[in-house]
Amino acid sequence: MIATLAHRGPDQQGELGDEKVRLGFCRLAILDLSHAGDQPMRDETGEYCITLNGEVFNYVELREQLKANGHEFRSTSDSEVALKAYMEWGTDCFRKFRGMWALSIWDKPRNRVVFARDYFGIKPLYFCHRPEGLFWASEIKAFDAAFGPLEENRACAFDYVVYGLLDHTDQTLFKDVYQLRPGEMAVSTEGTRLQRQVYWNLETALPEQRGRVAETDAIDRFRSLLLRGIDISLRSDVPVWILLSGGLDSSSIVSIVRHLYPDRAINTISVVHEDPAINEFEYVEAVARHTNCRVEKITIDAGAWVEELDALVYHQDEPVPQTTAVNHWHLMKALRQQGVKVILSGQGIDEILYGYVPIFMGYLFADLFAQLRWRRLWKEMKAHRNLREDWPRMFQRDFLLRMLKGFVPSQTARAFRARYLDRSEALIRGAVLHETRRRRDAYAPPRLAGLDLMRNAGYRMLTAESIPQILHYEDRNSMAFSIEQRVPFLDPDIVSLVFSLPAGVIVRDGRSKWILREALRGILPEKVRVRLSKLGFSTPESQWVASKEFQTYVQDQRLDTVLTQSIVDSEHFALRVKRLVAGKTAYSPVFWRVYNYALWKKRFRL
């Protein structure tokens, strides 16, 4: 199992244990590069042992508290701090951590192993129960290597193919392989199953007096948390780079680092596109002039994307719902060639500050309509009309539909799309539809009581729809090339504050991320601060899937044969593909999902 995960930690491998418990680890050395930071790590008594994947960014402050309580340290690593924190505070320590981690602690005095995963699931942790006992790992392929071919979880495969859902529950596409959910901990004692409990969730973290805060106080508090979060995420004993796209999110990170450290050398990497329609380099240059940062320009050769699909699918463990993962794979490969080991990105801020304007503004309009706030509704609609040239088309296609959707339960909307728009449900064999119906009816997307439609849409994206999928493919892609990707915006204090604020502080006058723009006034270059356009990390997915190159690859891989032994009606799918290639039917993301599902089944011998 350990050798299978060597790409996640090529700097050191170790294992220890006895006849009952055994821990193994592959280390990517980032804090304390000496052998004192090697894992698995014991305390000085040998009674406690830890493996920690990721980083506890506030380890410096925690170490000072622990020293004051009499603890001594043999290393400068965060792993030793996490271990001593558990020894001092027990499982209450997890709520004190800030960062990204998945850990296991062997507590010999209590005859148990304790597991915990960070607040948003940035780092993974999987379990597999076997007759021999309980096994755990950072990637599912470790179980596959140890036990031979696993079995497919057809219900989760259905969720993926039909709805594009992944990591929305604790189940995986592999039968009897489960994951620890974000903000969860678990305890395993000899002869018992895992006892799981939630140690943190957003609902309990929100203050009781939501929205009752002065606007200036909210901005000041947000700025303070933002600066602190980014500051501690820079802690490393190897160079930290920043992924700079020129967008508001990544530009904010670079500008905050310069604000915090006027004399610090800042290394950034930017992807340069030849297509002027998606080239953001003018904004990158504006940030570079403002912060005097170093910009390393790279280009991504996505032309060879088909050749690396097998490696991508293998490292992902499960099929990915979108081709942005392909772009990210090539980006991580390019970063590794540059010698990058730690990278900061702006991931997560779009979901909590409603950066996806066509999605969230419709929900905002629905909220204002339902609240009978006609003046504010008219003001926001007029602001959007004045700010966006394509307002008539955008209103009819996006905002109006989203506003109507806001009044429909999300389960109903998802089922309607699968049945009548994407027609993805029609691709599933009848027997599988019947088999999975009970589970589909039982699953309800997460919802926070007392929050409006827009913020509940953001909550769904944060916990079940968007962020879990993005974190999944970004972790696997980055670690495939031994790179740690940090996402400082996904901080529990930042997220809790944002969800407690009124919508008008987040979205105002047609602009999303209003509080971020105001908080960074004077810190962020004005050209970027007032920017409205958002390009993202897009791919020509429809052209890729319909291309002769990809269809030849499909034939060479005999994916049509794989699909005959799957939940998909292979004949029906083949007819739809034929119409797609001939230009007789519109593209839907379900085409990519089915092909990726077939590649996954073949790669893992399912």
Tokens (6 digits) for 506: 């987040």
Strand (E) or helix (H) holding 465? none
Q: What is the 3-state secondary structure (H, E, C) of 9-26?
A: CECEEEEEECCCCEEEEE
The burial of 81, by beta-carbon neighbours within 10 Å (0-12 exposed, 13-18 middle, 19 or more buried), is given as buried
Q: Which of 254-268, 363-377, 405-419, 454-468 has the lowest mean pLDDT?
A: 405-419
Residue 411: CA count within 13 A, CB half-sphere: 9
Percent of the chain with pLDDT over 90: 64
Residue 441: CA count within 13 A, CB half-sphere: 6
Taking 90 as the threshold, does the pLDDT of residue 122 lie above it? yes
pLDDT for residue 411 = 75
Listed residue (318, 48, 10) closest to 173, CA to CA: 318
Tokens (6 digits) for 93: 């320590």
Taking 90 as the threshold, does the pLDDT of residue 401 lie above it? no
Most confident listed range (129-138, 233-242, 294-303):
233-242
Most confident listed range (116-120, 382-386, 549-553, 587-591):
116-120
CA angle 199, 217, 355 (to 5 degrees): 65
Quote the CA–CA distance of 316 and 332 in Å, as a whole number: 14
H-helix segments, 97-240? 141-147, 154-158, 202-205, 215-233
Residue 440 pLDDT class (50, 70, 90 cuts): low
CA distances from 135 to 3, 142, 383 (A): 15, 10, 55
Mean pLDDT over 397-422 rounds to 73
pLDDT for residue 300 = 72
pLDDT for residue 568 = 95
pLDDT for residue 392 = 58
8 versus 246: the higher-pLDDT residue is: 8
pLDDT for residue 291 = 96
**Other beta carbons within 10 Å of 532:** 11
**Other beta carbons within 10 Å of 502:** 15
Q: With both helix axes pointing from N to C terminus, report the angle between 467-480 and 453-463 in degrees, rounded to the nearest 10.
A: 30
What one-character-per-residue DSSP string does 252-319 give? HHHHHHHHH-TT---EEEEE--SSTTS--HHHHHHHHHHHT-EEEEE---GGGGGGGHHHHHHHHSS-
Mean pLDDT over 505-521 rounds to 92
Tell me the pLDDT tens digit for each residue of 480-499: 999 999 999 999 999 999 99
pLDDT for residue 359 = 75
pLDDT for residue 137 = 97
Listed residue (477, 463, 476, 466) closest to 139, CA to CA: 476
Residue 385 pLDDT class (50, 70, 90 cuts): confident
Residues 6 or more apart in contact with residue 102 via CB below 8 angstroms: 52, 53, 54, 115, 116, 117, 118, 123, 124, 125, 138, 180
pLDDT for residue 365 = 84
**Other beta carbons within 10 Å of 73:** 15
Listed residue (406, 364, 349, 398) closest to 507, CA to CA: 364
pLDDT for residue 465 = 87
Tell me the pLDDT tens digit for each residue of 270-292: 887 766 666 778 899 999 999 99
Q: Which of 3-12, 138-147, 204-213 has the lowest mean pLDDT?
A: 204-213
Residue 362 pLDDT class (50, 70, 90 cuts): confident
pLDDT for residue 388 = 65
Q: Which of 179-188, 298-307, 363-372 has the lowest mean pLDDT?
A: 298-307
Quote the CA–CA distance of 168 and 549 in Å, as a whole number: 33
Percent of the chain with pLDDT over 70: 92
Taking 80 as the threshold, does the pLDDT of residue 406 lie above it? no
Residue 68 pLDDT class (50, 70, 90 cuts): very high
Q: Residue 443 carries which DSSP code?
A: -
pLDDT for residue 276 = 66
CA angle 566, 569, 572 (to 5 degrees): 150
Most confident listed range (61-75, 359-373, 435-449):
61-75
Whether the Cβ atoms of residue 496 and residue 202 lie closer than 8 Å to each other: yes
pLDDT for residue 209 = 56
Residue 370 pLDDT class (50, 70, 90 cuts): confident
Residue 322 pLDDT class (50, 70, 90 cuts): confident
Q: Residue 35 carries which DSSP code?
A: G
Tokens 């105002």, located at residue: 508
Whether the Cβ atoms of residue 495 and residue 352 lie closer than 8 Å to each other: yes
H-helix segments, 90-140? none
Strand (E) or helix (H) holding 440? helix 430-442
